[in-house]
Amino acid sequence: MTQLVSQSLLFAAAFLLLLALTASIYRRRRRLARMLHGRQAEARAPEILRDHGYRALIEQPDGQYTLSIDGQPQEISVRADLLARRGRTLALVEVKTGKAARPTLAETRRQLLEYALAFDVDELLLVDADQQTLQRISFPSPKHRAVGRLVVLGAVIGIAIGAVLRELWG
């Protein structure tokens, strides 16, 4: 009986090891397939850009910005997919496939926002290599929000002054 239990435990351990190895191989193959699909997408991007009137200039451009952490500056480096030009417009291009090509996806949106900080370009482009489409992405700048708040504040003050003057002269 003890030998049967030992053999069963050995079989169970071997089965679990085989299952773990199979899962590991499957994950690795999926990761490699995604990487290959991404590289193929980036290879198609210059043609998609040409179809929209852009010319690819630089692959894998490096950018950087300074992040302040507790008052200490920290240089942050990023690498985008492409720089492109259409006329006098310089564009930073991010190439995505599948669901990642949606600018509403948090990871994609955050990546584009980081590029907006790191690169001095006229526009950000998101290329969906699977659909062969291009989207222009822009973010509101904090300066625009501050100006908007000042306009609202000015309007409120103007309305209040107008109401007081109407009461006084009214």
Average pLDDT over residues 53-79: 95
pTM over 0.85: no
Q: What is the pLDDT of residue 146?
A: 58
User: What is the Cα–Cα distance from 95 to 86, expressed in whole angstroms?
Assistant: 17
Could you tell me the domains of the chain? 56-163 (3.90.320.10)
Q: What is the pLDDT of residue 157?
A: 78
Average pLDDT over residues 133-161: 74
Let me know: does 90 contact 122? Beta carbons within 8 Å. Answer: yes
Percent of the chain surpassing pLDDT 90: 52
- Give the model confidence (pLDDT) of 102-126 as tens digits: 999 999 999 999 999 999 999 999 9
Q: Three-class SS string for the chain?
A: CHHHHHHHHHHHHHHHHHHHHHHHHHHHHHHHHHHHHHHHHHHHHHHHHHHCCCEEEEECCEEEEEEEECCEEEEEEEECCEEEEECCEEEEEEEECHHHHCCCCHHHHHHHHHHHHHCCCCEEEEEECCCCEEEEECCCCHHHHHHHHHHHHHHHHHHHHHHHHHHHHC
